[in-house]
Amino acid sequence: MGGLPTVVRTVEGVRAAVGQHRAAGSTIGLVPTMGALHAGHLSLVQAAGRDNDVVVVSIFVNPLQFGPGEDLQAYPRTLQADLEALAAQDVQLVFHPDVADFTPPDMVTKVHVAGLTGGLEAGTRPTHFDGVTTIVTKLFNAVGPDRAYFGSKDFQQQAVIRRMVRDLGMPLEVVTCPLVREGDGLALSSRNAYLSAAQRQDALALSATLAEVLDAWDGDVDSARGLLQDRLGAAAGVRLDYAEVIDTVSLEPLTGVHTGPAQAVVAAWVGTTRLLDTVALPPAGAGR
Instruction: Render the chain in DSSP notation, one character per residue.
Output: --SSPEEE-SHHHHHHHHHHHHHTT--EEEEEE-SS--HHHHHHHHHHHHH-SEEEEEE---GGGPPTTSSTTTS---HHHHHHHHHHTT--EEE---HHHHS-TT-------TTTTSSTHHHH-TTHHHHHHHHHHHHHHHH--SEEEEETTSHHHHHHHHHHHHHHT-SSEEEEEPPPB-TTSPBP-GGGGG--HHHHHHHHHHHHHHHHHHHH-SSBHHHHHHHHHHHHHH-TTEEEEEEEEEETTT-PBP-SB--S-EEEEEEEEETTEEEEEEEEEPPTTS--
Supply the minimum distance, in Å, between the C-beta of residue 112 and ligand AMP: 19
- Which of 179/266 has CB closer to ligand AMP? 179
- Which of 44/254 has CB closer to ligand AMP? 44
Supply the minimum distance, in Å, between the C-beta of residue 188 and ligand AMP: 4
Supply the minimum distance, in Å, between the C-beta of residue 115 and ligand AMP: 20
- Which of 43/92 has CB closer to ligand AMP? 43
- Which of 62/199 has CB closer to ligand AMP? 62
**Is 41 annotated in the active site?**
yes
Supply the minimum distance, in Å, between the C-beta of residue 9 and ligand AMP: 18
**Residue closest to ligand AMP, measured at CB:** 151
- Which of 58/92 has CB closer to ligand AMP? 58
List 21, 38, 41, 258, catalytic entry: 41
Supply the minimum distance, in Å, between the C-beta of residue 220 and ligand AMP: 28
For binding to ligand AMP (CB under 6 A), which residues are involved? 33-34, 40-41, 43-44, 150-151, 153-154, 177, 179-180, 187-190
- Catalytic residue numbers? 41
